[in-house]
Amino acid sequence: MGWCSEDLFPTRFSLIIFISYMALFINQGILVTASKSKDNTYNYNTVTAVLLTECVKLVAAACIFLKDNTVSSLLSDITKHKDVLLYYLVPSALYCLYNNLAFVNLASYDPTTYFLLLQFRVVLARVLNVVEVVLSLLVILLHYQKSKHTRLMAFTVSVMTFWKTVLYFVMFTEYCGAGPLRVQNTIMQEIFIYVIPNGIWVVVPFLVMIQLWNLLAADTKQGSKFN
């Protein structure tokens, strides 16, 4: 019951795994920093260390799968869902790059500063949302002032809104591992909670971008004639 319910942790072993994972994640920076030499360098190849770590995780994941399945079923699923495997290679490659950069950053920063800056990305995302709102208000102001920069500023804001929402859209797909978060949704919930609210912020900015692009292109051609 409560935070330790059977839905969250079906077995005591799953709770141990969760606590162990959190402990390793929190102490990653401390362990990496402890492995540095006095001149803030590493006496081992960090790329090899990351590669071996990823291989260990791959083997561990395969072992967990094989606990309840056979090798033939594993190979069959890989062959059957080759496209999904390719999709997962993209975030896996980025995550591998992220782990390599962790060694680079921890060579220059202490673990506390590193993790503080790492989590600051959440704050930065909120700040960018505020910047987007401010720029939108600036577009309105420029429009009433009949400024020549109105269209360019409006196009910039539309691009920011469009790609931010596209990224948000992709983050909550099964290709990014968010499928289980939505698997229990009904069709109506998917439409009114996921598709429509996000779709509006993709379609509308995209249409605005197309319209403004044509106007900006026309302005460029007109300026070229005068020159």
| pLDDT tens-digit series, residues 68-98 | 888 898 888 888 888 888 888 888 888 888 8
Q: Which residues, 6+ apart, have CB-to-CB distance to 72 below 8 Å?
A: none
Boundary-marking domain end, from 89, 108, 127: 108
Q: Does residue 39 have a pLDDT over 90? A: no
Provide the domain limits for residue 80: 29-108
Distance CA 134, CA 127 (A): 11
pLDDT-based confidence at residue 1 (cuts at 50, 70, 90)? very low
Residues 150 and 174 in one domain: yes
- Residue 54 within any structural domain of the chain: yes
- Residue 104 within any structural domain of the chain: yes
What confidence score (pLDDT) does residue 203 get?
92
Strand pairing partners for 36?
42
Residues 169 and 192 in one domain: yes
More confident residue, 84 or 2: 84
Residues 124 and 70 in one domain: no
- Residue 14 within any structural domain of the chain: no
Q: Does residue 42 have a pLDDT over 80? A: yes
Q: What is the mean pLDDT of residues 8-16?
A: 79
Q: Does residue 218 have a pLDDT over 50? A: yes
- Residue 80 within any structural domain of the chain: yes
Residues 89 and 142 in one domain: no
- Residue 5 within any structural domain of the chain: no
What confidence score (pLDDT) does residue 226 get?
45
Residues 87 and 155 in one domain: no
What confidence score (pLDDT) does residue 227 get?
47
Residues 99 and 130 in one domain: no
Of the candidates 46, 59, 34, 50, the one whose C-alpha atom is nearest the C-alpha of residue 94 is: 50
Overall number of domains in the chain: 2
| 150-192 residue pLDDT tens | 888 999 999 988 988 888 777 777 766 666 667 777 888 788 7
Residues 97 and 136 in one domain: no
Residues 39 and 99 in one domain: yes
Q: What is the pTM of this model?
A: 0.53
What confidence score (pLDDT) does residue 93 get?
84
pLDDT-based confidence at residue 5 (cuts at 50, 70, 90)? low
Distance CA 62, CA 71 (A): 9
Boundary-marking domain end, from 108, 135, 169: 108
Q: Does residue 206 have a pLDDT over 90? A: yes
Of the candidates 87, 109, 105, the one whose C-alpha atom is nearest the C-alpha of residue 97 is: 105
Sequence-distant contacts of 40-47: CB under 8 A, at least 24 apart: 40/107, 40/108, 41/107, 42/103, 42/107, 46/100, 46/103, 46/104, 47/100
Strand pairing partners for 42?
36
Residues 102 and 123 in one domain: no
Q: Does residue 106 have a pLDDT over 50? A: yes
- Residue 128 within any structural domain of the chain: yes
| 115-158 residue pLDDT tens | 877 777 777 777 878 888 898 899 999 988 988 888 889 999 99
Q: Does residue 195 have a pLDDT over 70? A: yes
Q: How far is CA 54 from the centre of its chain?
A: 19
What confidence score (pLDDT) does residue 209 get?
92
Q: Does residue 107 have a pLDDT over 60? A: yes
Q: Does residue 20 have a pLDDT over 70? A: yes
- Residue 22 within any structural domain of the chain: no
Boundary-marking domain end, from 108, 140, 155: 108
Residues 202 and 128 in one domain: yes
